[in-house]
Amino acid sequence: MRSSQFLITTLKEAPADAEVISQKLMLRAGLIRRLASGVYTWTPMGLRTLRKVEGIVRDEMNRAGALEMLMPAVQPFELWQESGRGDQYGPELLRFKDRHQREFVIGPTHEEVVTDFVRKEIKSYRQLPLHLYQIQTKFRDEIRPRFGVMRGREFLMKDGYSFHTSFEDLQREYRVMFDTYHRIFTRLGLRFRAVAADTGSIGGTGSHEFHVLADSGEDDIAFCPDSDYAANVELAEALAPTTPRPAAGATMANVATPKKSRCEDVAEALNIPLSGLVKTLAIVPETAEGTNTGVVLLLLRGDHDLNEIKADKIEGIGAFRFAREEEVKETLGCIPGFIGPVGIKDGIRVIADRAVAVMADFACGANAYDTHLTGVNFGRDLPEPEVADIRNVVAGDPSPDGKGVLEIVRGIEVGHIFQLRTKYAEALGCTFLSEQGKAEVMEMGCYGIGVTRIVGSAIEQNHDDKGIAFPAAIAPFSVAIVPMGYHKSPAIQQAASELYEELIAAGFDVLLDDRNERPGVMFADMELIGIPQRLVIGEKGLAAGQIEVKGRRDTEASMIDRAGVVDYLRKSFAQ
């Protein structure tokens, strides 16, 4: 491609509302343009990268035996009612009516559609297993779209669905996909990690997320450097401390803590470590009927954070919200900031984190304004609480597999694989006839990859002060030819064109920058866009039969023989 025939729309300054680096660089490099909140146009330049990502995903899916298809982006809402997800999915589901007042949604995912397809087409065990996938535009009406393409509302996703006659066969396919995903992310040139994940509302058993490691990620991943353990912190178990609770030493006492309602302030005022403090969270479980079952107190160590997903899973808690100020006042007689588990009314359920359960002589709120208690002990000053794992693991916690200590890194979720089992097949009556001629419900797996998001996360991982440094596999062009004095020198024009043709013939994606721009502009643009190799043709080099080459990540350019350019590039991309 010649620049003069292409569209290069680079910007010197990024729009002020761009937040993360990938978003700024994608905007500046002219890869995307925002049309509405969380909705982006992909420019010709940006689309080249998107298509390359797609191509690698497609290639590996096909290689693994999955069959590509294309389902509609628009789906009848009826299907969602049939699966029972219509109500559950909530406002993220973009719904609309057609001219006949029939309800439709723009698909945020396609379990229903694919299951409907399979139940109609597949009748016999002989036709199974079957793995269907598509690369489709999805729409999720996110509360807060942000980070550009990383948390957009409209995005491109590869979603695959497998159908099996048995759980064993599902598990086999799951392992195949686990390996396939490793191949895909490796080929894309990303640093990533597969982590055990919460199965969330989708249900099912086994599940892994694939995260690209980047500080701007929205997920915390706990992993053990000494073993292969890795899990989303949502899921990572905080083991119970192995050391027993020390004996009570201090007497309980009231301490004035005027206006100190934050844990940090209280700890400082009392001159104790944050970990010597117990913070009390008042929550209200919300049952399906919406009836109020009363306030429940959760106890966490001052330096720990609540894991809401773990709390959700406790018997009798389920979905919950934090108690409103009036509710706290009514139940405990005090405002949030000074509440505690001591001396509370009978019947209030108290659940302590495992780490709290082994604390002695701790401090906590006194249920009185501007007052905290010190020297508090379970069994003496208040009843022994219920104990559960309700906190997020932190760096330094023992690994749940018993093999070392956890570290925590940030990650961007770019892939997710699930063993759905029979949830949708059952709801939608997706069955097959077994060898015995009996109708059985199919076992299902589902496997997603955020194609759009991969581009953003690749940039988060690969950039410098000059711009994007794309992995070669997904750069919009692999080689840029930058001629010096192109518009003045027929010799340069000819040499550039010859080189261009030669590289195209050799199979490279070449961009010949034949714009009538000054060299600085061309260099800056090629670097901003992130083209992996740059070739400069100048009068002097030409006379000596040489070409200047510079890799995007190299600090210095070097001269090579004109005749050896193709070999040089092949070698550089083979690495």
Partner RNA sequence: CGGCGUGUAGCGCAGCCUGGUAGCGCACUUGUCUGGGGGACAAGGGGUCGCAGGUUCGAAUCCUGUCACGCCGACCA
Of the residues 4, 15, 246, 343, which one makes contact with RNA according to CB under 7 A: 15
Q: Which tokens in the block code for residue 433?
A: 């006839």
Concatenating the DSSP letter of every residue in 337-399 gives TS--STTPPTT-EEEEEHHHHT--SEEEE-SSTTEEEEEE-BTTTBPPPEEE--B---TTSBP
Of the residues 55, 203, 519, 551, which one makes contact with RNA according to CB under 7 A: 519
Residue 355: CB minimum distance to RNA, A: 14
What 8-state DSSP symbol labels residue 28? Answer: H
306 binds RNA (CB under 7 A): yes
* Ramachandran class of 90: left when φ > 0, alpha when ψ lies in -120 to 50, beta otherwise: left
520 binds RNA (CB under 7 A): yes
Q: Whose Cβ is closer to RNA: residue 179's or residue 554's?
A: 554
313 binds RNA (CB under 7 A): no
Of the residues 527, 532, 552, 569, which one makes contact with RNA according to CB under 7 A: 527
Residue 306: CB minimum distance to RNA, A: 4
Residues 349, 298: Cα–Cα separation, whole Å? 9
Residues 448-477 touching RNA, rule: CB under 7 A, are 466-467
Looking at the DSSP assignment, which residues form a beta bridge with residue 409?
Answer: 221
Residues 552, 467: Cα–Cα separation, whole Å? 10
Residue 219: CB minimum distance to RNA, A: 13
Q: Whose Cβ is closer to RNA: residue 296's or residue 428's?
A: 296
262 binds RNA (CB under 7 A): yes
Of the residues 109, 155, 541, 562, which one makes contact with RNA according to CB under 7 A: 541
Angle between helices 21-28 and 451-461 (to 10 degrees): 100
Residue 282: CB minimum distance to RNA, A: 5
Identity of the amino acid at 424: Y
Residue 177 contacts residue 160 (beta carbons within 8 Å): yes
Of the residues 68, 226, 264, 401, which one makes contact with RNA according to CB under 7 A: 264
82 binds RNA (CB under 7 A): no
Of the residues 69, 319, 521, 563, which one makes contact with RNA according to CB under 7 A: 521
31 binds RNA (CB under 7 A): no
The footprint of RNA on this chain (CB under 7 A) covers a number of residues equal to: 67
Residue 14: CB minimum distance to RNA, A: 6
Of the residues 22, 232, 257, 392, which one makes contact with RNA according to CB under 7 A: 392
Query: Which of 123, 107, 141, 108 has the alpha carbon at shortest distance from 38?
Result: 141
Query: Which of 427, 528, 436, 434 has the alpha carbon at shortest distance from 475?
Result: 528
Torsion of CA 260, 262, 266, 272, to 10 degrees: -170
Of the residues 22, 180, 232, 280, which one makes contact with RNA according to CB under 7 A: 280
Torsion of CA 497, 498, 502, 504, to 10 degrees: 10
Q: φ and ψ at 249, to 5 degrees?
A: -120, -40
Identity of the amino acid at 318: G
213 binds RNA (CB under 7 A): no
Residue 148 contacts residue 22 (beta carbons within 8 Å): yes
Of the residues 97, 245, 438, 540, which one makes contact with RNA according to CB under 7 A: 540
281 binds RNA (CB under 7 A): yes
Torsion of CA 41, 467, 191, 476, to 10 degrees: 50
Peptide bond before residue 129 is cis, with ω within 30 degrees of 0: yes
Query: Which of 517, 510, 507 has the alpha carbon at shortest distance from 496?
Result: 510
Residues 275, 300: Cα–Cα separation, whole Å? 9
487 binds RNA (CB under 7 A): yes
Residues 135-174 touching RNA, rule: CB under 7 A, are 143-146
Residues 324-363 as x/- pattern, contact with RNA by CB under 7 A: ----x-------xxxxx-----------------------
Q: Which tokens in the block code for residue 256?
A: 């004035």
Question: HSE on the CB side for 325, CA within 13 Å?
Answer: 2
Q: Is 488 helix (H, G, I), strand (E, B) or coil?
A: coil
Residue 194: CB minimum distance to RNA, A: 24
Q: Whose Cβ is closer to RNA: residue 100's or residue 321's?
A: 321
Residue 381: CB minimum distance to RNA, A: 17
550 binds RNA (CB under 7 A): yes
408 binds RNA (CB under 7 A): no
Q: Which stretch binds RNA (CB under 7 A): 109-117, 397-405, 520-528, 564-572?
A: 520-528
> Which secondary structure element, helix H or strand E, spans residue 88, and what is its range?
helix 85-89
Q: Give residue for tokens 């980070």.
A: 147
Q: Which stretch binds RNA (CB under 7 A): 32-40, 81-89, 107-115, 201-209?
A: 32-40
Q: Which stretch binds RNA (CB under 7 A): 311-319, 403-411, 468-476, 482-490?
A: 482-490
Q: Which residues bind RNA (CB under 7 A)?
A: 10-17, 19, 36-38, 143-146, 261-266, 279-283, 300, 302, 305-306, 321-323, 328, 336-340, 365, 392, 466-467, 484-485, 487-488, 516-521, 523-525, 527-528, 536-538, 540-541, 548, 550, 557
